[in-house]
Amino acid sequence: MSLSPGDSLTSHNFGLQIDGVMVEYLAEVSGLTIEQDVIKSPQNSAQGRPEISLMPGVQKDGQCTVVRGMTQSPAFTTWINDSISGRMSTARKDASIILMDYENNPVKRYNMRKAWCSKIDASTLKAGEASALTETVTIVFEELVIE
């Protein structure tokens, strides 16, 4: 690995895998979070004083947003269409956001279990504009595991 002690990963070197296949032209990932319920357990101490213990509860589902260049990627388009059409037997997939070091070696993974697309937003089309077209896709997932 090309990271030395004290080095941090950079925010520009990452990728998205869907069922083990890398999706190209990914420009941005945002909103990737893990959250879980907190259980409060009130009790009395041996001295008779009230105490509150906090314990971890159930992990909540989540979502993230990815922005990618508009391409002819049939795998990604099929995934979006299966999701939007409600074909959940094929739409629910395992997806991973992979962070890489300076030599493009995977260093950290955010694995989204049973992920599917809940929203797609195409960039604005404008005559005479010379910019890349993008798709913003909201991905929902049932569980997030960090490796």
Residue 4 domain flag: no
Name the band, by pLDDT with cuts 50, 70 and 90, for residue 3. Answer: low
Average pLDDT over residues 93-108: 89
Q: Domain containing 117: what range? A: 14-146
Q: Which two tokens stand for residue 54?
A: 């906090």
Q: Please state the domain count of the chain.
A: 1
d(CA 126, CA 133): 10
φ/ψ bin of 116: left (φ > 0), alpha (ψ from -120 to 50), beta (otherwise): beta
Residue 25 domain flag: yes
Residue 8 domain flag: no
Residue 78 domain flag: yes
d(CA 122, CA 137): 9
Residue 125 domain flag: yes
Average pLDDT over residues 41-53: 93
Instruction: Name the more confident of 5 and 96.
Output: 96
d(CA 46, CA 53): 14
User: What does pLDDT average to over the chain?
Assistant: 89
d(CA 139, CA 118): 6
pLDDT at 10 over 80: no
Name the band, by pLDDT with cuts 50, 70 and 90, for residue 1. Answer: low
Task: Name the burial class of residue 36, with classes exposed (0-12), middle (13-18) and buried (19+) by CB atoms within 10 angstroms of its CB.
Answer: exposed
pLDDT at 4 over 80: no
Residue 3 domain flag: no
